[in-house]
Chains A and B, each alone.
Chain A
Amino acid sequence: MEERGGRAGGFRKDTVDRLLRLHFRDGKTRVNADAQLLMAELLKVFVREAAARAARQAQAEDLEKVDTEQLEKVLPQLVCNCGPELHGSRMSIGAETA
């Protein structure tokens, strides 16, 4: 799952681990390796979704450049997580129910 170089960007497993551990309340809490990898995927999706939605907003406004204004408009729905479907970024899963 960790792809180095080339086109595919993504979060490093150990970075994700440290990011999470920074905010755990209990010093004993750990994250197992698979969960780290899965969280890396989740964060990747989160970022791509934010970027893609902002890009769509810019396109809707006939702009070539995405700026913070566009991001501000799409953010509430993204962060709220109240059942938003992933429609901004392209997800290549077999049967997509966008």
Chain B
Amino acid sequence: MAAAGEERQMLAQRLKAAVHYTVGCLCEEVAEDKDVQFSKQSIAAISDITFRQCEIFAKDLEMFARHAKRTTVTTEDVKLLARRSNSLLKYITQKSEELASSNMEQKEKKKKKSSTAKGERTPGEQEAAVTENEDSNMA
């Protein structure tokens, strides 16, 4: 039992580190944009808050999916999460539409390819497999 708890702790630590890294990058962008500097403590604080906010988001998303009698969280659930702020909702909805249209494009490409190359693995798929492996170290 203790081992499972420890594992979870370790995973949480690694995720916190990953969040911290990205938060650092984003703060750097904002710093450039606004011509200010962020203290290390403030970056760490934003990182901490973001990590905690994920817990709230996760639980909400799970509830939304469950309410819709699904076990898989979809973009509709994410949009619900963004509902309270008009501009946020608008931004997220737009991103969601961009995703949907790029998915359509991908499907079109696959259809064309599969009609010419019968059942052969498309280069696109192979590339995806490689990046999956790369992503697993979460540095």
- Give A residues with C-beta under 8 Å from B: 1, 7-15, 18-26, 28-32, 34-35, 37-39, 41-48, 50-52, 54-56, 58-59, 63-68, 70-71, 75, 79, 81-86, 89-91, 93, 96-98
Contact = CB atoms under 8 A, between A and B. Distances in A.
Given A8-B29, A51-B46, A79-B53, 19 more contacts: A11-B22, A14-B138, A23-B58, A29-B66, A29-B71, A30-B71, A32-B73, A43-B54, A48-B26, A51-B38, A52-B34, A54-B42, A55-B34, A68-B45, A90-B33, A93-B91, A97-B86, A97-B87, A97-B90
A35 B42 contact: no
Contacts of B39: 65-68
Interface in B64-94: 65-66, 71-75, 77-79, 81-82, 84-88, 90-92, 94
Contact of B41 (A50, A68, A90): A68
Contacts of A59: 34, 36
Given A19-B58, A20-B54, A50-B46, A38 B96 contact: yes
Contacts of A12: 18, 22, 135, 138
Interface of B: 8, 11-12, 15, 18-19, 22-23, 25-31, 33-34, 36-39, 41-42, 45-46, 49-51, 53-55, 57-59, 61-62, 65-66, 71-75, 77-79, 81-82, 84-88, 90-92, 94-96, 98-100, 103, 135-136, 138
